[in-house]
Each structure stands twice: as structure tokens, then as C-alpha cells.
Amino acid sequence: MFLNPADTDRSGKKIFIQNFLGCGCPDEVVEEARISFFARPLGALLEQRTAQSGPSPSLTPLEQEVNRLVGLPKTLKWPRRPLGELIPPVSWRRPMIEAVARTPKHLKKLSALRSMSKATMDAVIEVPGRAFFFLVAFETRRPKKTDLLAQYESGQLLYKLMGYNRCRLFTITQKDEPKIIPEIDTALTWQGLHNAFFEARDRYSFADVVLDLFDRVD
């Protein structure tokens, strides 16, 4: 599900992004925010950019840029298809990674890049040119720390590749509880979101979007 700025109420969306997520961008910027649900933003971006690179037996600018950001040698090549097309990290299998890794450290970092690319967010809010906000929701079963860390790290790589200012990770739970990992920006609750938007659903169509997402995990 993807919502463009014109598809939903701007005032309600602005309240959610500014009041709950703490975005300090100007109103006119926040009102242009794009929202997607159940998305893999980093994986999608790298799939798009690898496709744009085309066949190339030599090192590509994309490989050099990502390698630098994740702490790999700039000269390390990614797995390729027989005709030289880059294989996006989300499609890497362990034998592919082992074939290009030069050291155990490289193997670990390439595997982490694959995990980051596969990280799925329950909601992604993109304030164009400024910031990403990742929302991860769960009920009684707590997510693994490794999964949350991959989600956080995928956002850090994503905003740098996009030239944005930052990416913040939020969790949404049924009740108040401590942050599972320190990298979480804020731990929200479904009840708090529901209470805040239930009375506003007649005034803001965006409130229905929030409440619909609440109903999916309730």
C-alpha cells in the first residue's frame, strides 16, 4: 500500500509526523511526505540501482559507494550474473557471498548488507529530501534484537545513499515498555495512537489510515 501526498489528508498527516514522530521540518515539506506500508525501502532502492547499472565486469560506482558506507574495501566486487549484471543484495545467497568475500570480516559485512536489504518495515514515512521514519509494530511476541538492529542499520544506509539528513526508528507496542535496543528513537503504543486519532477520524481522513493499521494488529 502506498500513499502519495495527494491521496490523503495533509493536516492529519502533518499532525502525526510532527506531534508523534517529532519531525521539525517546515509544514509545507511535511505535507508532501510519502507513506508506504510493509515495505523494504533499502532493498527496493538497491534493486533499482543495480538494474540501472547494467552489465559491467568492472567495479561500478554503486559498489564503491555502498562498500565505503558499510566498511568494505571500495575494490570489492559484488556477486554478478553470467553476463555481468549486478545481483542486488536482497537476492544474495551465502555461496555467492563466499565467492566474493576475501576475509571472514568481508563475509560478515556482506551478510549484514543482505540482512539490511531484506529488512521490512510496517510503515515507512519519507519526508522528501529530509528524513525517513521507520515504524515497526508488534504485539505480545517481542522481535529479535538482531532483526531490529538490521532494520535500524538499513535506515542508516538508506538515508546516506539518498542524501537525506537522517532516519529514525520507532516501535509500536500494545503497552508501555522499555526500548529493546538503544537505537530505537521512541517506543510508541497502539493505545496512545488509537486514543489520539479516534476522536479525530471525522476531521482527518489520515486518522482512518492510522486506525486501519491499528486494526490489522489488534
- pLDDT digit string, tens, across residues 12-22: 677 778 877 88
Tell whether 195 and 175 lie within a shared domain: yes
Q: Model's pTM, two decimal places?
A: 0.85
Give residue 201's pLDDT band: very low, low, confident or very high (50, 70, 90). Answer: low
Judgement on whether residues 129 and 22 belong to the same structural domain of the protein? yes
Band the pLDDT of 214: cuts 50, 70, 90.
Answer: very low
* DSSP β-ladder status, 166-173 and 186-189: parallel
Distance (Å, whole) CA 159 – CA 31: 19
16-51: pLDDT as tens digits: 788 778 888 888 898 889 888 899 999 999 999 999
User: Range of 94's domain?
Assistant: 43-117
77 shares its domain with 149: no
Please determine, for residue 93, whether its predicted confidence score (pLDDT) is greater than 80: yes
pLDDT, position 154: 98
Last residue of a domain, one of 117, 140, 159: 117
Least Cα distance to 134 among 111, 159, 112 occurs for: 159
Q: Which of 117, 136, 152 is the last residue of a domain?
A: 117
pLDDT confidence of residue 126:
95
Band of the pLDDT at 166, cuts 50, 70, 90? very high
